Chain A
Amino acid sequence: MTKLLEWVFGVSVLGAAWAFVTFDILKMSIPRPYREVAWPMPLYLLVTFGCYSLATVGYRVATFNDCDDAAKELQAQIIEAREDLRKKGLKF
Chain B
Amino acid sequence: MWLTHHRNSATCLAKLVKLLGNATVTDKAVGASLVGFSLLLFTYYSIWVIVLPFVDADHVLHQYFLPREYTVILPGVAALVVLLCIGAFVGAVMLKNRKPKKVD
Contacts and interface: CB of A to CB of B under 8 A. Distances in A.
A51 B14 contact: no
Which interface class (under 10, 10 to 19, 20 to 34, 35 or more) fits B? Answer: 20 to 34
Contacts of A14: none
Contacts of B42: 47-48, 51
B34 A54 contact: yes
Interface centre among A40, A60, A85 (most CB of B within 10 A): A40
Nearest to A67: B20
A75 B17 contact: yes
Interface in B34-59: 34-35, 37-39, 41-42, 45-46, 49-50, 53-54
A33 B17 contact: no
Interface of B: 3, 6-7, 10, 13-14, 17, 20-21, 24, 27-28, 30-35, 37-39, 41-42, 45-46, 49-50, 53-54, 68, 71-72, 75
